[in-house]
Amino acid sequence: MARSVRISLACAAILPFVSAAPALAQDKVKVSLTGSVRARAETIAGQFRPNTPEHDSFLSFRTVVAAKVDVGAFTLMGEVVDARGYGEDDRSSVRTSEINDLEPVQAYLAWRPVKGVQVTGGKFSMDIGASRLVGRTDFPNGVPTYLGAKVEAKDKNKNQLILFWTRPFTALPETPADIYDNKVQLDRAAENIEFFGGNAMLAKFYGNTSLETYGFRLIEHDRTTHPTRNRRLVTFGARLRRAPAKNALDYEVEGALQRGLVRATAAVTDVRDLKVRAGFVHAETGWTFDGKWAPRVAALFDYASGETANPNTFTRFDTLYGARRADFGPLSLYGALGRANIVSPGVRFEARPSKRLDLMASVRGAWLASAIDSFASTGVIDRTGRTDTFGGVQFELRARRWLVPQKLRLELGSAWLAKGAFLRDAPNAPRTSDTKFVHTDLTLSF
């Protein structure tokens, strides 16, 4: 019965494309081809992660080729990403987010039945809102992808609605040895995970302030070869934003609550459901000064809940498929801070001395929201809760310059994590010095 229903739905989905076939032959065909090649060298010293080398270096190459064919109201899109890496230690933290060879990350057909509405079906990436829960950022080499359908609607006032139903792809290969060997293995659509929801935005909610509201549902079940924590999560939230402008105050506030059921572990014997009670908040306000450099200074604050001692609830926030580079700094060999078990105020400075050069500097402190849970994205934990909850202070610098406008760009970046008491004294914290990370990117676009 279920199979026949799926077949019926598939047939219904392709009927518009079949009925439109005669008209397509009369439309003008427009073909475009774009891409980029990026080389990145990075190194880390004073590693913060347990069970990884104190020093590690990594050289990666990411090639992106995207082809698009427009025929009337239809668009056929294909995109391939080849992400390869070399030189990492045999116990490196590098995984498929940085090495994922020859992967078709997008292959979809889009249909625009009326102006401002697009229906998409196939394999695609997504970037929704500020990307904190569903995002595709540029820093990682790999791309989160989904198999399914989505509807996007936008009016002349830039109000927007996005609805989607998907099965996320699991990045392959799965073993560190195969990843380090750059083994080519196509990603797999997860048969045991459904991810769906929607996002609505009012572009002029109040003056120049926009309002977004969203709700996402994640349903996960065990597979024979891959036990899971059986996450059944509902995440709902809102975001207010006033974009930066010269001689004006800008701000952004986003918050979300997470409810549902989950199991404490992925063990097959763990069949006890825990109630989820989690959430996160991001707040930011800044001022952009007049002048040639248009400098902007902003105050930042991030909070995401961590696990508590209540045996009947699960309170560590799950960031779903979100991106964290914009809020928490560089990833890859670094990526210490993330949207879980963290309290983090900070300050950021940005400037654009010319059209070809932009600069950024930031500093932020970080504490544990819960003393007994793993700190942010470090993997460092003290189940007794006796270690001081100060994680440390992160400093970040970044400069990007177009060597050839819109063709060749150089990026230099660094992060320094001055470790606090928790990252020095927790039971599984590596006995290393402060973490220092440096990366250099060179990107050619075509």
DSSP per-residue letters across 20-86: THHHHTTSPEEEEEEEEEEEEEEEEES--STTS-SEEEEEEEEEEEEEEEEETTEEEEEEEEEEEEE
Instruction: Give residue 223's pLDDT.
Output: 82
With 60 as the cut, is the pLDDT of residue 98 above it? Answer: yes
Instruction: Give residue 25's pLDDT.
Output: 53
Instruction: Give residue 8's pLDDT.
Output: 39
Could you tell me the residue ranges of all domains in the chain?
36-445
Instruction: Give residue 19's pLDDT.
Output: 44
Region of poorest pLDDT, from 85-89, 223-227, 279-283, 406-410? 223-227
With 70 as the cut, is the pLDDT of residue 24 above it? Answer: no
Instruction: Give residue 13's pLDDT.
Output: 40
Q: Could you give the percent of the chain with pLDDT greater than 90?
A: 91
Q: Which amino acid is at 403?
A: L
With 80 as the cut, is the pLDDT of residue 164 above it? Answer: yes
pLDDT band at 17 (very low <50, low <70, confident <90, very high): very low
Structure-block tokens of residue 71: 């025929």
pLDDT band at 26 (very low <50, low <70, confident <90, very high): low
Cα distances (Å, whole numbers) of residue 1 to 6, 197, 402:
9, 25, 57
Instruction: Give residue 137's pLDDT.
Output: 85
Cα distances (Å, whole numbers) of residue 88 to 52, 56, 180, 416:
11, 6, 8, 20
Please state the φ and ψ torsions of residue 17, each to the nearest 5 degrees. -70, -40
With 70 as the cut, is the pLDDT of residue 9 above it? Answer: no
User: pLDDT digit string (tens) for 288-331?
Assistant: 999 999 999 999 999 999 999 999 999 999 999 999 999 999 99
Please give the Cα distance from 97 to 57 (Å, whole number): 16
Whole-number average pLDDT of the chain: 94
Mean pLDDT of 124-128: 98
With 50 as the cut, is the pLDDT of residue 2 above it? Answer: no
Cα distances (Å, whole numbers) of residue 300 to 16, 17, 32, 253, 363:
47, 47, 40, 10, 10
Instruction: Give residue 224's pLDDT.
Output: 76
**What is the DSSP secondary structure assignment for residue 426, as one 8-state letter?**
S
Instruction: Give residue 12's pLDDT.
Output: 38
Asked, as a colleague might, if the bond just before 311 is cis with ω within 30 of 0, I would say: no
With 70 as the cut, is the pLDDT of residue 5 above it? Answer: no
Q: For the purposes of burial, counting CB atoms within 10 Å of the CB of 158, is it exposed (0-12), middle (13-18) or buried (19 or more)?
A: exposed
Structure-block tokens of residue 320: 């779903």
Please give the Cα distance from 330 to 334 (Å, whole number): 6
Please give the Cα distance from 19 to 22 (Å, whole number): 7
User: pLDDT digit string (tens) for 106-121?
Assistant: 999 999 999 999 999 9
Mean pLDDT of 19-30: 62
If one compares 401 and 15, the residue with the highest pLDDT of the two is: 401
Q: What is the pTM of this model?
A: 0.92
Architecture per CATH, 36-445: Beta Barrel (2.40)
DSSP H or E segment with residue 234: strand 232-242
pLDDT band at 21 (very low <50, low <70, confident <90, very high): very low
